[in-house]
Amino acid sequence: MSITRRCAAPRKCPRSHRSRSATGQTYEVVLEAGYSDLAGNVYELRHHWSFDTELPPRFASSTPSDGDGGVDPADYVAVTFSRAMLESSLATAIVFTPEVRFGVRIDPSDSRRVIVAPNSLLQPNTTYRMLVTQIAKDTDGNLLDHFRSITFKTGAARPLHHWVAFAAENTAGTSGGLWIVNEAGIPRELVASSAVNAYSWSPDGQRLVFATADGWATFTPGGSTESLGFSAIWAAALAPGLGYVYLDASGSLYRAPQSGADYVISTLVTTAAVSPSGERVVFAQDQVDSTTRIWGYDVGLRSRYALAAEPTSVSNLSWAPNGNRIAYLRHDAGTVTLRVRNLTGSASMTSVVHGDISAPAWLHDSDHMVMSASVTGDSGIVSKAFVINVASPPPSLTIGLGLPALANVVDVSNPVPSPDGHQIAFISGDQVWLMNADGTRPTPLTRFDPGTFPYSCLMPAWTRL
């Protein structure tokens, strides 16, 4: 039997049965007379047939396209091919100029589409060339038909949109810096730091404020890191032009204005939070009789006003997104109570729910909160996320209300809602997960990998936009 390839020229192209067929070719198979079966019967008929091999994979399109400008430095590059591609071949087949370290992921919804994710944000206002060489292979092992390249230019740095930030910690227990991840599930480093003890986004979403071993600093994506020049156990940015507030180890709450000297807002402060507008601060102050007084503070007027008084300590102060409520945890004997103070209307105070709860966070509608809580399940104590309406809460937190409903996700902590309230990010198994706000479709966004991502994840926080 012989196999020949029909070529453009009228000639035979012999092929060894051990070699690989060429793509995009027509082959003719000839079975000459004289072959025999296992019984020894000889056949005199000659047979032949032909077949076509599949075409090689082709570069079909990309986002951004060749020649595009004003590309967001946070964007991934998406490349679509004519066939499903072999992910492992693309890591070496793709080359950036200037050099960019990146990861590659096949789009789970379309195996022809490849997501090329730079390990960090691209530089703003920079021209990049991405070359896809012919060693890129499809899932059948066929090489790309020709090399392809796209050239694009990034625009100015802009606020990050719909990312989850988190702090990373390596297996030695030291900091791996600050990272971001989105639904593509490809984490990328945002800030390299030897220690990240706390962080938060500014009210306008433009800056990060974070604590390191050397003090507090601010970072603008696409820009540089700047030291803030103060030491504190907590700090946050105010509205643009208003500076920062910080709480030192002695319990003194300071404002650091954009210009001028820092000044004390109050002493004996235990916890504080900045309003969504960045123009007000709420803080809790210890009293001499061991009670706690909660104050509001107007940054522009430099004046404070009483909001609530509690017989015990409080923590986790937070403002509702529209500024009409504040919430906090009151630490009662043997339990923790979520308390909500309305700032409009009758200015009512409500005990919403109690239990072994932590880290409450407001959803976009300012009516619902999400928190983690330990409850009793079939196999013992488990930790789940709970979304509750603060105006009509459930009588108690039970396993039936816990999110997600999956029985194998039992260690939920730090649930935080997306800016639109449609999704919730959380930590489980020391990695970042994402689920819909109703608890459906829980999906890990990060996965521990000794080679590419040797980190545990801490303190998730959505970008403001």
| Structure confidence by residue, pLDDT tens digits, 429-438 | 999 999 999 9
Give the confidence band of 13 by pLDDT, cuts at 50, 70, 90.
very low
The answer, yes or no, to whether residue 11 has pLDDT greater than 50, is no
DSSP track, 249-309: TTS-EEEE-SSS--EEEESSEEEEEE-TTSSEEEEEEE-TTS-EEEEEEETTTTEEEEEEE
pTM as predicted: 0.87
Q: Are the C-beta atoms of residues 273 and 236 closer than 8 Å to each other?
A: yes
**Residue-range domains of the chain with CATH:** 2-53 (no CATH), 59-154 (2.60.40.3710), 164-262+329-462 (2.120.10)
Q: What is the pLDDT of residue 7?
A: 45
Give the residue among 463, 442, 439 at the shortest CA–CA distance from 163.
463
Question: Which of 2-16, 157-171, 189-203 has the weakest average pLDDT?
Answer: 2-16
Q: What is the pLDDT of residue 192?
A: 87
Q: What is the pLDDT of residue 379?
A: 84
Burial 162-176 (b: 16+ CB within 10 A, else e): ebbbbbbbeeeeebb
Percent of the chain with pLDDT strictly greater than 90:
81
Choice between 178 and 408, residue whose per-residue pLDDT is larger: 178
Give the confidence band of 22 by pLDDT, cuts at 50, 70, 90.
confident
- Mean pLDDT value across the chain: 93
Q: Which residues pair with 254 in a beta bridge?
A: 246, 264
Give the residue among 84, 180, 101, 190 at the shortest CA–CA distance from 141.
84
Torsion, Cα of 333, 334, 336, 339 (10° steps): -40
The answer, yes or no, to whether residue 12 has pLDDT greater than 80, is no
Q: What is the pLDDT of residue 448?
A: 97
Q: What is the pLDDT of residue 170?
A: 92
Task: Convert the pLDDT of each residue in 91-124 to its tens digit.
Answer: 999 999 999 999 999 998 999 999 999 999 999 9
- Six-digit token pair at 61? 């399109």
Task: Convert the pLDDT of each residue in 290-337 to its tens digit.
Answer: 999 999 999 999 999 999 999 999 999 999 999 999 999 999 999 999
The answer, yes or no, to whether residue 15 has pLDDT greater than 50, is no
- Six-digit token pair at 309? 């008084």
- In the β-sheet with 292-298, what is the strand arrangement from edge to edge? 269-274, 280-286, 292-298, 303-310
For residue 229, how many other CB atoms are within 10 A of its CB? 11
CA distance 213 to 196: 8
Question: Which of 31-35, 167-171, 205-209, 385-389 has the weakest average pLDDT?
Answer: 31-35
CA distance 255 to 304: 13
Q: What is the pLDDT of residue 252?
A: 99
Look at the block and give the residue holding tokens 């370290």.
101
Q: What is the pLDDT of residue 8?
A: 43
- Six-digit token pair at 464? 């403001």
The answer, yes or no, to whether residue 80 has pLDDT greater than 50, is yes
Task: Convert the pLDDT of each residue in 53-70 to its tens digit.
Answer: 888 999 999 999 999 999
Give the confidence band of 2 by pLDDT, cuts at 50, 70, 90.
low
Q: What is the pLDDT of residue 238?
A: 98
CA distance 395 to 201: 34
Amino acid occupying residue 365: D
Report, as an integer, the average pLDDT of 175-186. 93
Q: Let me know the angle formed at the C-alpha of 299 by 296 and 301, rounded to the nearest 5 degrees.
A: 95
Q: Are the C-beta atoms of residues 321 and 364 closer than 8 Å to each other?
A: yes
